[in-house]
Amino acid sequence: MGNCCRPSKQFEEIEQAETLDMVRNSNPLDDSDLIFPSKYIREDEFNKITFTENGIVNFINEILSETYTQKFQDETMKISTAEKSKFSKDFFIIRCEAKLEKSKLKNELSLKNIIDSIFDKEKRMKWDSNMKEIEIIETFSKNAILVKSVTNKILMISSREMIEKRYEFYNGNKYYNFSSSVPDNLFNINEEIVRVLSFFAVNILWEDENFFFFDSINQYDIKMNIPQSLMILSLPPKMKDFIKKLSDFVNQE
């Protein structure tokens, strides 16, 4: 859930026709149908993700079908990992699943409120103290953007920067948000900030009568020389803090 944000168009304006089933059954698309200009696609992404609507859907389905090993679970969240990856064997695919109980939130809150609070840059900056900067660099369509996010420095850990291409769509009652880093050589690197490589990040949000649900699956190289096992151990408290801050914010809005 660390990533943000989303196009400025309101969530309900995303065409309902952009669903998994309709995209999956569409005709093959040529290069003119790429969601992003080809210069924003990394070399290691070619032949692994096809950056069309159909290709993004297929990639999300592949990620969801991976075999995950549970590392942590309590009544509100589950964290698991997968070692198989198209991109790198050096970094786990990490999956964080969480739920937010509606009875603890204002009655009038909707899924849109939750999505906006996470992926709208103005709202995210109000409650997420970890974020130092969020900038939409370019807008390709109503649901595809290029975005830069910078985190604050924590203790002795340098600030982190990500520059990602991002695509969002709506399938029935579920919201999907895909992102991945662009080639580093397109943007100057600030020597005081460490640039993170986002191989990919997939966020899915939906709701039922009692809960809002989050499913966040990603693979990052955050450029830190620490064992991944320690990173996994740090995730539950970080996720709990994220959910608490989000809950507090939406209740005060």
Structural domain contains residue 53: yes
Q: What is the dihedral of CA 243, 247, 249, 253, to 10 degrees?
A: 150
pLDDT of 162-181, one tens digit each?
Answer: 999 999 999 889 999 999 99
Better pLDDT: 234 or 23: 234
Least confident of 76-80, 203-207, 230-234: 230-234
- Do 248 and 127 meet the contact criterion of CB atoms below 8 Å apart? yes
Structural domain contains residue 245: yes
Strand partners of residue 180: 165
- Do 109 and 102 meet the contact criterion of CB atoms below 8 Å apart? yes
Structural domain contains residue 2: no
> 244 Cβ partners below 8 Å, 6+ apart?
none
pLDDT of residue 192: 87
Identify the band that residue 105 occupies on the pLDDT scale cut at 50, 70 and 90.
very high
Better pLDDT: 192 or 127: 127
Residues of the domain holding 122: 11-252
Instruction: Please give the distance of CA 158 from its chain centroid, rounded to a whole number.
Output: 21
| DSSP string of the chain, one letter each residue | -------SS-GGGS-TT--HHHHHTSPP--GGG-SS-GGGS-GGGTTT---SHHHHHHHHHHHHTS--EEEEE-SSEEEEEE---SS-SSS-EEEEEEEEEGGGS-TT--HHHHHHHHH-HHHHHHH-TTEEEEEEEEEEETTEEEEEEEEPPBTTBPPEEEEEEEEEEEETTEEEEEEEEPPGGGSPPPTTSEEPEEEEEEEEEEE-SSEEEEEEEEEEE----S-HHHHHHHHHHHHHHHHHHHHHHHHH-
Structural domain contains residue 180: yes
- Separation of alpha carbons 32 and 38, rounded Å: 10
CATH number at residue 215: 3.30.530.20
Identify the band that residue 182 occupies on the pLDDT scale cut at 50, 70 and 90.
very high
pLDDT of 36 above 80: yes
pLDDT of residue 157: 75
Identify the band that residue 153 occupies on the pLDDT scale cut at 50, 70 and 90.
confident
Structural domain contains residue 4: no
Structural domain contains residue 151: yes
- Other CB atoms within 10 Å distance of the CB of residue 233: 13
- Separation of alpha carbons 55 and 11, rounded Å: 22
- Separation of alpha carbons 42 and 40, rounded Å: 6
pLDDT of 26 above 50: no
Instruction: Please give the distance of CA 86 from its chain centroid, rounded to a whole number.
Output: 18
Overall number of domains in the chain: 1
pLDDT of 136 above 60: yes
Mean residue pLDDT across the chain = 87
Identify the band that residue 5 occupies on the pLDDT scale cut at 50, 70 and 90.
low
Structural domain contains residue 1: no
- Separation of alpha carbons 156 and 246, rounded Å: 26
